[in-house]
Structures are given as C-alpha cells and as structure tokens.
C-alpha cells in the first residue's frame, strides 16, 4: 500500500502515520524527520534547510523531490510506504506523480486529517500567552507561519488530489483512537 497523509501542523499526522506503519508494515517516509536528521548530521542539505525550518518556511521543491526520489528506491519501500509531510506543494505532488509513473507505481490513497485551523491557531496563542518569554514567542511565531504556509501552499495539494478523485478526508478533531479508526475504515474501502 502506498499512501500520502495530509494535514496541517498539529493535526496528528506523525501519530497516525506510526499506527499505519505498525499495522501494515509500511515504510514511514517523514520528510521533516529526514531534514532534521540531515541537520543533525551537518550535511549540505541539512545546513541549507536549518534556517528555513526554523522560520517555518518550506525547503525548495527540487531538494525535496530529490530526497523522496532516492528514498522510494530503497528496499524497505518495496512493501509499501506512507508519505508524511510530502508533498507540501502542488509542484511536489506533480513531481511525485512523475516519479511513481516512471517506476510503474501509483498511490492507493491520499488521506487528509482535517482539523479546524482557527482552533489550532487559538491553541498556539493560548500556549504562548501562558508560557510568555522571547523563546515561546518565537515558537508561536514559527507555528503561525507554518499554518499560513500550509494554508497558502499545502491546502492546494488536497484540492489537487480531490480533482483526481484520490482524496479521503477524516475528522481530525476527535480523539487519537477515533481518528485511527476512521482512517482504518477509509483504507479498508480503498484496498478491498
Ligand atoms: P514536519 O516535521 O513535517 O512538520 O516538517 C518540519 C519542517 O521541515 C517544515 O516546516 C518545513 O520547513 C520542512 N519540510 C518538511 N517536509 C517538507 C516538504 N515536503 N517540502 C518543503 N519543506 C518541508
């Protein structure tokens, strides 16, 4: 099974991706984790990505597409994979289509964990007000920027998959187990 998980920052993509990895034995391709590993290792890509990530902006599409192209060719992806945090722009989604097509592969589903962005923003502002201090403000600013970037650049990715008839949306405003169950139902319908 090959899946894309879409959702705003704080929607619970990482948590749900881990459930799917455990349940279906899929490789977990989190581009955020890959970039953080590259930053920690001090690679060229990691050095270029660090400031961009700290601001909450997006790393350039060509860098991301190259990372994913290498990654999906690794042996552990043969059994299927879950993309968590990629694609984040329509250009990345189009590039992914091309990468899969040249390999004779296709996505089985794109699952969107839908959350109320106004509520996410309210949570961030509340946390910033409670903790106070420059560093917490920086974090709140970054989170706000990440939400804005999501709205402007990543929300169109959901529309892109919707047009293709591939998008399945689940209610991300429930507790973790209920979201997991809803995703399971969606996937049962897709793969059966
Ligand atoms: P995440 O852990 O998925 O929230 O990603 C953390 C940060 O890594 C994002 O805020 C971006 O700066 C960067 N990043 C992760 N995935 C991508 C992507 N597909 N395209 C561009 N930037 C990304």
Task: Kindly state whether residue 162 falls inside one of the protein's structural domains.
Answer: yes
What's the start-to-end Cα distance of the chain, in Å?
11
Looking at the 3D structure of the chain, how many domains does it have? 1
pLDDT tens-digit map of 44-53 = 999 999 999 9
Ligand 1 atom closest to Cα of residue 88: 19
Task: Kindly state whether residue 57 falls inside one of the protein's structural domains.
Answer: yes
pLDDT at 143: 83
Residue 132's domain is classified under what CATH number?
3.40.50.300
Task: Kindly state whether residue 185 falls inside one of the protein's structural domains.
Answer: no
Task: Kindly state whether residue 109 falls inside one of the protein's structural domains.
Answer: yes
Task: Kindly state whether residue 187 falls inside one of the protein's structural domains.
Answer: no
- Segments of the chain with pLDDT less than 70: 131-138, 192
**Which of 85, 86, 152 is the best mutation target for the ligand 1 pocket, counting ligand atoms within 8 Å of the beta carbon and taking the most?**
85
Task: Kindly state whether residue 122 falls inside one of the protein's structural domains.
Answer: yes
pLDDT tens-digit map of 132-167 = 655 555 577 888 898 999 999 999 999 999 999 999
Ligand 1 atom closest to Cα of residue 149: 10
Task: Kindly state whether residue 186 falls inside one of the protein's structural domains.
Answer: no
Task: Kindly state whether residue 29 falls inside one of the protein's structural domains.
Answer: yes
pLDDT at 106: 96
Contact 85, 146 (CB under 8 A): no
Domain limits at 38? 2-180
Spell out the residues 6+ positions from residue 184 whose beta carbon is closer than 8 angstroms to its own. 23
pLDDT at 136: 52
pLDDT at 134: 53
């Amino acid at each position: 099974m090959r899946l894309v998980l879409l959702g705003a920052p704080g929607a619970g993509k990482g948590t749900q991706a881990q459930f799917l990895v455990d349940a279906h034995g899929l490789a977990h391709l989190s581009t955020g984790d890959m970039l953080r590993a590259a930053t920690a290792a001090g690679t060229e890509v990691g050095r270029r990505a660090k400031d961009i990530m700290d601001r909450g902006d997006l790393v350039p599409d060509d860098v991301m597409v190259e990372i994913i192209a290498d990654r999906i060719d690794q042996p552990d992806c043969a059994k299927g994979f879950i993309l968590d945090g990629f694609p984040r722009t329509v250009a990345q989604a189009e590039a992914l289509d091309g990468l899969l097509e040249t390999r004779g592969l296709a996505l089985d589903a794109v699952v969107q964990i839908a959350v109320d962005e106004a509520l996410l923003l309210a949570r961030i502002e509340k946390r910033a007000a409670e903790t106070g201090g420059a560093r917490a403000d920086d974090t709140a600013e970054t989170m706000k920027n990440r939400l804005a970037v999501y709205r402007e650049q990543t929300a169109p990715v959901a529309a892109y998959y919707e047009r293709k008839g591939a998008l399945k949306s689940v209610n991300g405003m429930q507790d973790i187990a209920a979201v997991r169950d809803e995703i399971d139902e969606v996937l049962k319908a897709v793969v059966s």
